[in-house]
Structure 1
Amino acid sequence: MPQPRMKLVVTGDDFGYCPRRNQGIVDCFQAGGISNVSLLVNASAAKAAADLAKRHNIPIGLHANLSEGVPVCLSLQQTSTLINQQGVFLGKMGFRQALERGQLSMKQVDLELRAQVRLFRKLTGHLPHHMDGHQHVHVLPEVREVFAQVLSELGIPYTRVPVEPGLHSCPWLPAHIYRFYKQVEKDALDSIPVFSRYGIRWPDVYFGLTTMGQNMSIPNLQKALSHALAAGPLDAISGSASGSSQSVVTAELMVHPGYPSLPQEGGCGEGPDDFSQSPDRQYELSVLRDPSLLALYSQERIQLCAFRDL
């Protein structure tokens, strides 16, 4: 390929969630549909996922999880502000509500994030090349400061900043989902000065919110790629992965390929959720490895890579 216009990290999230998610992600990687994975270390098939990444040389980072399943840190499994009476995390919205009410201990957030990095290192033999947040918890107020400090101290260079160009022109998104994504975007924008202060880096452009599940199609991906290319390198942001000396746009596409989870097989301690049992996972897998999408990448001079290649 001549000089690429874009270096694109296609990250398969929730690696380790269940055996069928693992297999789908590996199949997608081998077909050239993804270039990077993000591991849930507290998920039921995390060790198997780490072993698969080693066997197939799949670039792997940490999908830090504070909202689903059981904490990794032993001292937080009995009594902590991060869990409910059943001993599991508070959920995507429960975590946010407890944070708004000032009920979460940031010291405990710090302990859990560090415990997850230690487990990641034990499973894979190395530090994560990047670290993001399951259900975007890493960009929430207060949490982002702790998150950035952990990354900085441990030498983890890259994260995800979920601000998607084109989010505001997607009429197919239901109103409640659009509202949630708008809040994610606001939190992510507010995270930029925090991540910059700690020297954390991220790609110029992020997308994937508008192309999840049945919303993923080659026309929608083409539209999202066009928005990303038009956005160009964010040289004004010190944390951007693009330096001022290059014109190549760097981007991350968040995806969730896999085969539908079987009931009672997988999850982070509570069994697989509806999202993972739905056919949407396999639908994403089929789109991502469609030869016409791979041809589009080549035609648009888009080079798939991993965070470690930026």
Structure 2
Amino acid sequence: MYLIEEIIMKRLLVITADDFGFSKERNEGVMEAYNNGAVKSASLLLNCTGTVHAVESARNTGLTLGLHLNLTEGKPVGGEYKTLTSCDGIFQGMIGTREALDNGQIDLTEIETEIDSQIKYYKELVGEKPAYVDGHQHIHLHPVVVPIFAKLLSKHGIAVTRMPIEINLDLNAKPWLHHSPKLDLLNIFVKEAKSSIPVLQQNNIRTSACFTGLSTMSAAMTTESLQAVILEAFESVEPTHQGTSVACELMTHPGYPTPMDYGGFSWGTDDFGNSKDRVHELQVLSSAAMKNFYKTHNMELASHREL
């Protein structure tokens, strides 16, 4: 009689704090989340009032940093452009940038120059290449941007990015999504991510096996909703996953409110940055309920360095 030992697949949960560097207040919240054992990675914005403060705050702490590539808000890193920015030298915003890309109004050379400049500037500030690069407002996977993005990551020896494919983004499956006024846009992000897979694979860029967090931003993040989407993500890929471990990325935005008159992209913040929802996310992520949940469901918090 042979005793067959059941192998339990290890679940690696990569919890990422987005918009690190946005402001001193946001940075303090991200570092608190890290010190609470609630996040392991943080995506750094390079063109904000808190960028340098973020780098210094994270130095020698063990927090894994990546580049939060930004082509939509604030001033570019690489200089002045004719098509990538508006006439005042500012990126054209989340919607404006996407519309300009869709209409073929942005010079591809400018996109390449800015992405390359941000990777190089990150190296100067941090002292090493990013452990990963994702996109502010998921701009890295726009169909016009992703071929350039993937080529430059390969050039710089960066092999990890974000794949924001969250399943079941509809009100029937996730009723708490009524908090999100941009549900259609979230589904566009997912569609673009799926289309980008061949380009990333051709350039040997890897991602986590699954992803969640689009549906649990701000007030939509509760202990119940967060636990539900994490389990859903893991269970959606485990039946076909090869190996003894599977990794899922959870996108979050913890912090403290940024003042409306200063912070963010130099001129102040918006309602998202100023909202007390930043503290709400910090509290949910740091709660004993979430820590018990991870333990109960065989989840180990990890960083992008383990992908």
Tell me the TM-score normalized by structure 1: 0.92
1:238 aligned residue: none
> 2:264 maps to what in 1?
267
Deviation at 1:297, TM superposition (A): 0.5
Q: Deviations over 1:58-113 (max 9, x none)?
A: 11000000000000002xx2x42111122100000000111111101111111101
Determine if the alignment matches structure 1 residue 294 to structure 2 residue 297: no
Instruction: Note closer, same or farther for the CA distance 1:234–1:193 as it changes in structure 2 (3 Å cut).
Output: farther
Partner of 1:249: 246
Deviations 1:263-292 (Å, cap 9, x if unpaired)? 222112332111000111000000000011
CA deviation after TM superposition for structure 1 residue 260, in Å = 0.5
- Correspondence for 1:172 among 170, 176, 179: 176
State the distance in 2 between where 1:17 and 1:93 align: 20
Number of equivalences: 298
Q: Distance in 1 between matches of 2:262 and 2:33?
A: 21
Task: Tell me by how many angstroms 1:299 deviates.
Answer: 0.9
State the shift of 1:195 in Å. 0.5
Quote the residue 2:115 is aligned against: 113
Aligned-partner Cα distance in 2 for 1:225–1:87: 40
**Structure 1: gaps spanning 5 or more residues:** 236-241
Instruction: Give 5+ residue unaligned stretches, structure 2.
Output: 1-6
Distance 1:233 1:91 in 2: 37
Q: Partners of 2:230 and 2:135 in 1: how far apart?
A: 23
Partner of 1:283: 280
Q: Select which of 135, 149, 153 maps to 2:151.
A: 149
Distance in 2 (alpha carbons) for counterparts of 1:203 and 1:55: 25
- Match for residue 126 of structure 1? 128
Contact 1:204 1:234 in 2 (8 A): no
Larger radius of gyration: 2
Displacement of 1:247: 3.5
> Pick from 138, 141, 145: which aligns with 2:140?
138
* 1:238-268 deviation per Cα after TM superposition (whole angstroms, max 9, x unaligned): xxxx7x3x14221100000000111222112
Using the TM superposition, give the Cα deviation of residue 5 of structure 1 relative to its aligned residue in structure 2, in angstroms.
2.9
Q: Which residue of 1 aligns with 2:10?
A: 5
Letter in 1 for 2:287: D
TM-score by length of 2: 0.93
**Residue 4 of structure 1, CA deviation:** 5.8
Distance, in Å, in 1 between the alignment partners of 2:182 and 2:246 is 28
Please say which of residues 23-32 and 219-228 is displaced more in the overlay: 219-228
For 2:21 and 2:93, the matched residues in 1 are separated by 18
Root-mean-square deviation (CA), in Å? 1.6
8 Å contact 1:138–1:144 — kept in the other structure?
yes
Shift of 1:234: 8.8
For residues 218-244 of structure 1, give each alpha carbon's deviation from its aligned partner in whole angstroms, at most 9, with x where no partner exists.
110111012112112596xxxxxx7x3
How many percent of aligned residue pairs carry the same amino acid? 36
2-structure distance, mates of 1:86, 1:95: 14
